[in-house]
Amino acid sequence: ITAGDLLFTASKDKMITMWRTDNGERMGIFKGHNGVVWQVDVSRDSTRLISAGGDENVRIWDVQSGTLLWSIEHPTAVRAVSLALGERQFLSCTDSTFGYQPAINLYDVAEDLMTSKSFDPREQTTQPKMKILGHDKRITDCKWGPLNATVISCSEDKTVRQWDTETGRLILKIDAHDGTVNHIRTAYNGHCVLSASADHSAKMWDMRTRECAKAYESDTIVNDVDISPIRDHVILGGGQQARDVTTTAGRAGKVETKFFHKYYGMELGAVAGHFGPVNTLQFAPDGRGFVSGGEEGVIRVHHFDDDYFSQDTEA
Protein backbone atom coordinates (compact mmCIF):
# COMPACT_ATOMS: atom_id res chain seq x y z
CA ILE A 1 0.00 0.00 0.00
CA THR A 2 1.29 3.48 -0.83
CA ALA A 3 -1.04 6.38 0.06
CA GLY A 4 -3.80 3.84 0.57
CA ASP A 5 -5.60 4.15 -2.78
CA LEU A 6 -3.34 1.72 -4.66
CA LEU A 7 -2.26 -1.78 -3.70
CA PHE A 8 0.65 -3.68 -5.25
CA THR A 9 0.73 -7.46 -4.91
CA ALA A 10 3.45 -10.03 -5.64
CA SER A 11 2.73 -13.70 -6.21
CA LYS A 12 4.02 -17.10 -7.24
CA ASP A 13 2.51 -16.73 -10.74
CA LYS A 14 5.48 -14.48 -11.73
CA MET A 15 3.32 -11.35 -11.93
CA ILE A 16 3.00 -8.10 -10.00
CA THR A 17 -0.47 -6.56 -9.99
CA MET A 18 -1.69 -3.05 -9.17
CA TRP A 19 -5.19 -2.64 -7.73
CA ARG A 20 -7.52 0.10 -6.56
CA THR A 21 -8.37 -0.46 -2.91
CA ASP A 22 -11.74 1.30 -3.00
CA ASN A 23 -13.39 -1.01 -5.54
CA GLY A 24 -10.91 -3.85 -6.20
CA GLU A 25 -10.35 -2.84 -9.82
CA ARG A 26 -7.17 -4.22 -11.38
CA MET A 27 -5.23 -1.29 -12.79
CA GLY A 28 -2.29 -3.07 -14.37
CA ILE A 29 0.09 -6.02 -14.48
CA PHE A 30 3.88 -5.94 -14.48
CA LYS A 31 5.30 -8.88 -16.44
CA GLY A 32 8.97 -9.70 -16.68
CA HIS A 33 10.00 -12.01 -13.87
CA ASN A 34 10.56 -15.64 -14.76
CA GLY A 35 9.83 -17.03 -11.31
CA VAL A 36 8.03 -16.28 -8.08
CA VAL A 37 8.02 -12.61 -7.06
CA TRP A 38 8.86 -12.61 -3.35
CA GLN A 39 8.57 -8.94 -2.46
CA VAL A 40 7.93 -5.46 -3.87
CA ASP A 41 8.39 -1.90 -2.67
CA VAL A 42 7.04 1.36 -4.08
CA SER A 43 8.42 4.91 -4.13
CA ARG A 44 6.62 7.48 -1.98
CA ASP A 45 5.13 9.19 -5.03
CA SER A 46 4.06 5.82 -6.52
CA THR A 47 5.99 6.41 -9.75
CA ARG A 48 8.54 3.59 -9.32
CA LEU A 49 8.17 -0.04 -8.28
CA ILE A 50 11.03 -2.35 -7.26
CA SER A 51 10.65 -6.12 -7.13
CA ALA A 52 12.60 -9.15 -5.90
CA GLY A 53 12.29 -12.47 -7.68
CA GLY A 54 13.11 -16.13 -7.39
CA ASP A 55 14.57 -15.74 -10.89
CA GLU A 56 17.59 -14.08 -9.19
CA ASN A 57 16.65 -10.59 -10.42
CA VAL A 58 15.77 -7.24 -8.93
CA ARG A 59 13.72 -5.13 -11.34
CA ILE A 60 12.66 -1.47 -11.27
CA TRP A 61 9.49 -0.46 -13.12
CA ASP A 62 7.71 2.72 -14.20
CA VAL A 63 4.31 2.45 -12.49
CA GLN A 64 2.32 4.58 -14.92
CA SER A 65 3.35 2.72 -18.08
CA GLY A 66 4.33 -0.66 -16.64
CA THR A 67 7.68 -0.38 -18.45
CA LEU A 68 10.66 -2.27 -17.08
CA LEU A 69 13.35 0.39 -16.60
CA TRP A 70 16.25 -1.63 -15.21
CA SER A 71 17.14 -5.02 -13.79
CA ILE A 72 20.13 -6.54 -12.03
CA GLU A 73 20.88 -10.24 -11.83
CA HIS A 74 22.03 -11.76 -8.53
CA PRO A 75 23.84 -15.08 -7.96
CA THR A 76 20.86 -16.64 -6.13
CA ALA A 77 17.15 -16.02 -5.59
CA VAL A 78 16.31 -12.58 -4.18
CA ARG A 79 14.07 -12.94 -1.15
CA ALA A 80 13.57 -9.30 -0.09
CA VAL A 81 13.97 -5.77 -1.45
CA SER A 82 13.47 -2.31 0.05
CA LEU A 83 13.93 1.31 -1.00
CA ALA A 84 15.77 3.56 1.44
CA LEU A 85 14.47 6.85 2.79
CA GLY A 86 15.03 9.35 -0.03
CA GLU A 87 15.03 6.52 -2.57
CA ARG A 88 18.66 6.94 -3.55
CA GLN A 89 19.54 3.47 -2.25
CA PHE A 90 17.95 0.05 -2.16
CA LEU A 91 18.76 -3.25 -0.50
CA SER A 92 18.31 -6.81 -1.67
CA CYS A 93 18.64 -10.11 0.20
CA THR A 94 19.93 -13.21 -1.55
CA ASP A 95 19.46 -16.84 -0.56
CA SER A 96 22.02 -19.30 0.74
CA THR A 97 22.11 -21.70 -2.21
CA PHE A 98 24.73 -22.96 -4.70
CA GLY A 99 27.44 -22.49 -2.09
CA TYR A 100 26.68 -18.80 -1.53
CA GLN A 101 26.20 -17.32 1.93
CA PRO A 102 22.97 -15.43 2.68
CA ALA A 103 23.71 -11.77 2.00
CA ILE A 104 22.28 -8.27 2.30
CA ASN A 105 23.34 -6.17 -0.70
CA LEU A 106 23.26 -2.36 -0.59
CA TYR A 107 23.07 -0.42 -3.87
CA ASP A 108 23.17 3.26 -4.77
CA VAL A 109 20.40 4.36 -7.15
CA ALA A 110 20.98 6.78 -10.02
CA GLU A 111 18.74 9.85 -9.60
CA ASP A 112 17.43 9.66 -13.16
CA LEU A 113 16.29 6.08 -12.62
CA MET A 114 13.79 7.30 -10.03
CA THR A 115 12.76 10.57 -11.67
CA SER A 116 13.34 10.64 -15.43
CA LYS A 117 11.45 9.00 -18.28
CA SER A 118 14.62 9.02 -20.39
CA PHE A 119 16.85 7.01 -18.10
CA ASP A 120 20.09 5.61 -19.51
CA PRO A 121 20.69 2.14 -17.93
CA ARG A 122 24.44 2.71 -18.16
CA GLU A 123 24.10 5.34 -15.41
CA GLN A 124 23.02 2.74 -12.85
CA THR A 125 25.73 0.69 -11.17
CA THR A 126 25.36 -3.07 -11.26
CA GLN A 127 27.66 -3.68 -8.31
CA PRO A 128 26.59 -3.39 -4.67
CA LYS A 129 28.44 -0.78 -2.66
CA MET A 130 28.36 -3.16 0.28
CA LYS A 131 27.62 -6.83 0.91
CA ILE A 132 26.72 -7.76 4.48
CA LEU A 133 27.30 -11.34 5.62
CA GLY A 134 26.65 -12.92 8.99
CA HIS A 135 23.37 -14.82 9.10
CA ASP A 136 23.73 -18.59 9.46
CA LYS A 137 20.66 -19.44 7.37
CA ARG A 138 18.39 -17.87 4.75
CA ILE A 139 17.45 -14.22 5.30
CA THR A 140 13.66 -13.93 5.16
CA ASP A 141 13.21 -10.15 5.37
CA CYS A 142 15.16 -6.90 5.73
CA LYS A 143 14.22 -3.26 6.35
CA TRP A 144 16.04 0.07 6.53
CA GLY A 145 16.50 1.59 9.97
CA PRO A 146 16.25 5.26 11.03
CA LEU A 147 17.80 7.70 8.53
CA ASN A 148 19.27 4.77 6.55
CA ALA A 149 22.03 4.45 9.17
CA THR A 150 21.19 0.81 9.77
CA VAL A 151 19.41 -2.14 8.21
CA ILE A 152 17.46 -4.70 10.23
CA SER A 153 17.18 -8.31 9.07
CA CYS A 154 15.57 -11.57 10.17
CA SER A 155 16.32 -15.13 9.27
CA GLU A 156 15.64 -18.83 9.46
CA ASP A 157 18.41 -18.83 12.08
CA LYS A 158 15.77 -17.45 14.53
CA THR A 159 17.50 -14.09 14.98
CA VAL A 160 16.82 -10.42 14.33
CA ARG A 161 19.98 -8.44 13.58
CA GLN A 162 20.87 -4.78 13.12
CA TRP A 163 23.76 -3.71 10.88
CA ASP A 164 25.69 -0.48 10.32
CA THR A 165 25.26 0.61 6.69
CA GLU A 166 28.55 2.52 6.60
CA THR A 167 30.78 -0.31 7.79
CA GLY A 168 28.65 -3.45 7.55
CA ARG A 169 29.37 -4.08 11.22
CA LEU A 170 26.90 -6.10 13.29
CA ILE A 171 25.45 -3.72 15.89
CA LEU A 172 22.90 -5.97 17.54
CA LYS A 173 21.96 -9.64 17.46
CA ILE A 174 18.70 -10.71 19.11
CA ASP A 175 17.92 -14.39 19.64
CA ALA A 176 14.34 -13.45 18.96
CA HIS A 177 12.37 -16.67 18.58
CA ASP A 178 12.39 -20.45 18.87
CA GLY A 179 11.60 -20.83 15.16
CA THR A 180 12.15 -19.13 11.82
CA VAL A 181 11.51 -15.37 11.87
CA ASN A 182 9.29 -14.99 8.80
CA HIS A 183 8.87 -11.22 8.58
CA ILE A 184 9.63 -7.99 10.38
CA ARG A 185 7.99 -4.57 10.46
CA THR A 186 9.48 -1.31 11.63
CA ALA A 187 7.48 1.25 13.61
CA TYR A 188 8.03 4.54 15.40
CA ASN A 189 10.59 5.75 12.85
CA GLY A 190 12.43 2.44 12.97
CA HIS A 191 13.10 2.46 16.71
CA CYS A 192 10.65 -0.40 17.19
CA VAL A 193 10.65 -3.71 15.30
CA LEU A 194 7.90 -6.32 15.22
CA SER A 195 8.85 -9.89 14.34
CA ALA A 196 6.59 -12.74 13.17
CA SER A 197 7.73 -16.31 13.74
CA ALA A 198 7.02 -19.95 13.07
CA ASP A 199 7.16 -20.49 16.85
CA HIS A 200 3.51 -19.31 17.04
CA SER A 201 4.29 -15.82 18.28
CA ALA A 202 5.02 -12.25 17.29
CA LYS A 203 7.13 -9.89 19.37
CA MET A 204 7.74 -6.15 19.63
CA TRP A 205 11.36 -5.13 20.15
CA ASP A 206 12.66 -1.78 21.41
CA MET A 207 15.86 -1.35 19.39
CA ARG A 208 17.16 1.31 21.78
CA THR A 209 16.89 -0.76 24.96
CA ARG A 210 17.37 -4.07 23.09
CA GLU A 211 14.48 -5.58 25.01
CA CYS A 212 11.27 -7.36 24.07
CA ALA A 213 8.53 -4.86 24.85
CA LYS A 214 5.63 -7.26 24.28
CA ALA A 215 4.92 -10.77 23.00
CA TYR A 216 1.75 -11.83 21.19
CA GLU A 217 0.96 -15.53 21.43
CA SER A 218 -0.91 -17.38 18.68
CA ASP A 219 -2.01 -21.01 18.25
CA THR A 220 -0.36 -21.38 14.86
CA ILE A 221 2.56 -20.22 12.72
CA VAL A 222 2.73 -16.41 12.38
CA ASN A 223 3.81 -15.32 8.90
CA ASP A 224 3.36 -11.55 9.18
CA VAL A 225 2.58 -8.81 11.66
CA ASP A 226 1.72 -5.11 11.49
CA ILE A 227 0.85 -2.29 13.86
CA SER A 228 -1.99 0.21 13.48
CA PRO A 229 -0.95 3.81 12.81
CA ILE A 230 -3.94 5.19 14.75
CA ARG A 231 -5.04 2.64 17.38
CA ASP A 232 -3.29 0.46 19.95
CA HIS A 233 -3.74 -2.63 17.79
CA VAL A 234 -1.39 -5.23 16.34
CA ILE A 235 -2.51 -7.74 13.71
CA LEU A 236 -1.07 -11.21 13.12
CA GLY A 237 -1.56 -13.49 10.13
CA GLY A 238 -0.44 -17.04 9.45
CA GLY A 239 -1.78 -20.56 9.63
CA GLN A 240 -0.84 -24.14 9.03
CA GLN A 241 1.29 -25.09 6.04
CA ALA A 242 -0.67 -25.37 2.81
CA ARG A 243 -0.27 -29.15 2.64
CA ASP A 244 -2.00 -29.49 6.02
CA VAL A 245 -4.98 -27.24 5.31
CA THR A 246 -8.29 -28.39 3.85
CA THR A 247 -10.42 -26.09 1.70
CA THR A 248 -13.47 -26.54 3.92
CA ALA A 249 -13.03 -23.82 6.51
CA GLY A 250 -10.55 -21.15 7.46
CA ARG A 251 -11.10 -21.87 11.14
CA ALA A 252 -9.86 -25.46 10.74
CA GLY A 253 -6.56 -24.25 9.34
CA LYS A 254 -6.28 -21.43 11.89
CA VAL A 255 -5.85 -18.94 9.06
CA GLU A 256 -7.61 -15.97 10.61
CA THR A 257 -6.14 -12.51 11.00
CA LYS A 258 -5.98 -11.85 14.73
CA PHE A 259 -6.12 -8.50 16.52
CA PHE A 260 -4.15 -7.93 19.72
CA HIS A 261 -3.86 -5.01 22.10
CA LYS A 262 -0.47 -3.42 21.52
CA TYR A 263 0.40 -2.87 25.17
CA TYR A 264 -1.54 -5.55 27.04
CA GLY A 265 -0.93 -8.37 24.56
CA MET A 266 -4.47 -9.72 24.83
CA GLU A 267 -6.35 -11.00 21.79
CA LEU A 268 -9.21 -8.68 20.84
CA GLY A 269 -10.77 -10.53 17.92
CA ALA A 270 -10.23 -12.31 14.64
CA VAL A 271 -11.22 -11.91 10.99
CA ALA A 272 -11.75 -15.02 8.87
CA GLY A 273 -12.04 -15.37 5.10
CA HIS A 274 -8.93 -17.07 3.75
CA PHE A 275 -8.75 -20.78 2.96
CA GLY A 276 -4.98 -20.99 3.17
CA PRO A 277 -2.26 -19.53 5.36
CA VAL A 278 -2.15 -15.73 5.50
CA ASN A 279 1.26 -14.94 4.05
CA THR A 280 1.18 -11.16 4.30
CA LEU A 281 -0.91 -8.36 5.77
CA GLN A 282 -0.69 -4.62 6.23
CA PHE A 283 -2.69 -1.77 7.71
CA ALA A 284 -3.72 1.05 5.39
CA PRO A 285 -1.62 4.19 5.92
CA ASP A 286 -4.63 5.97 7.46
CA GLY A 287 -5.44 2.99 9.69
CA ARG A 288 -8.98 2.70 8.39
CA GLY A 289 -8.55 -0.79 6.99
CA PHE A 290 -6.06 -3.53 6.18
CA VAL A 291 -5.22 -5.99 3.45
CA SER A 292 -4.30 -9.66 3.71
CA GLY A 293 -2.85 -12.07 1.16
CA GLY A 294 -3.42 -15.83 1.36
CA GLU A 295 -1.64 -18.90 0.06
CA GLU A 296 -4.78 -19.70 -1.97
CA GLY A 297 -4.05 -16.68 -4.18
CA VAL A 298 -6.68 -14.30 -2.79
CA ILE A 299 -6.13 -10.73 -1.62
CA ARG A 300 -8.75 -9.47 0.83
CA VAL A 301 -9.21 -5.71 1.32
CA HIS A 302 -10.92 -4.90 4.62
CA HIS A 303 -12.48 -1.52 5.40
CA PHE A 304 -13.31 -0.90 9.06
CA ASP A 305 -16.86 0.19 9.87
CA ASP A 306 -17.80 2.83 12.43
CA ASP A 307 -18.06 0.25 15.22
CA TYR A 308 -14.33 -0.41 15.01
CA PHE A 309 -13.58 3.22 15.88
CA SER A 310 -16.32 3.55 18.53
CA GLN A 311 -15.29 0.48 20.53
CA ASP A 312 -13.18 1.29 23.57
CA THR A 313 -10.27 -1.17 23.45
CA GLU A 314 -7.69 1.36 24.52
CA ALA A 315 -8.47 1.13 28.21
- Each residue of 47-66: pLDDT tens digit? 999 999 999 999 999 999 99
Label the pairing between strands 6-10 and 16-20: antiparallel
Please give the Cα distance from 33 to 175 (Å, whole number).
Answer: 35
pLDDT of 133-142, one tens digit each?
999 999 999 9
Q: What strands, in cross-sheet order, belong to the sheet with 103-108?
A: 78-83, 89-94, 103-108, 130-133
Tell me the C-alpha distance between 6 and 63, whole Å. 11
Count CB atoms within 10 A of the CB of residue 18.
22
User: Is the per-residue pLDDT at 243 higher than 90?
Assistant: no
Name the pLDDT band for 254 (thresholds 50, 70, 90).
Answer: confident
In which band, very low, low, confident or very high, does the pLDDT at 121 lie, cut at 50, 70 and 90? confident
CA distances from 237 to 49, 108, 208 (A): 25, 33, 27
pLDDT at 250: 47
Q: In what order do the strands lie in the sheet with 26-30?
A: 6-10, 16-20, 26-30
Q: Are strands 103-108 and 6-10 parallel, antiparallel or unpaired?
A: unpaired
CB atoms within 10 A of CB 180: 19
pLDDT at site 268: 95
Residue 20: helix, strand or coil by DSSP? strand
pLDDT grade for 248, boundaries at 50, 70 and 90: very low
Looking at the DSSP bridge assignments, the partners of residue 155 are 139
**Whether the predicted pLDDT of 252 surpasses 70:** no
Q: Which of 71, 23, 24, 21 is nearest to 46 (CA)?
A: 21
Torsion angle, alpha carbons of 9, 12, 16, 18, to 10: -40
0.85 exceeded by pTM: yes
**CA–CA gap between residue 299 and residue 257 (Å, rounded):** 13
174-225, pLDDT tens digit by residue? 999 999 999 999 998 788 999 999 999 999 999 999 899 999 999 999 999 9
Please say if the pLDDT value at position 251 is more than 60.
Answer: no
Compute the distance between CA of residue 87 and CA of residue 111 in angstroms, rounded to an integer: 9
Q: Does position 235 have pLDDT exceeding 60, yes or no?
A: yes
Assign 269 a pLDDT band (cuts: 50, 70, 90).
Answer: very high
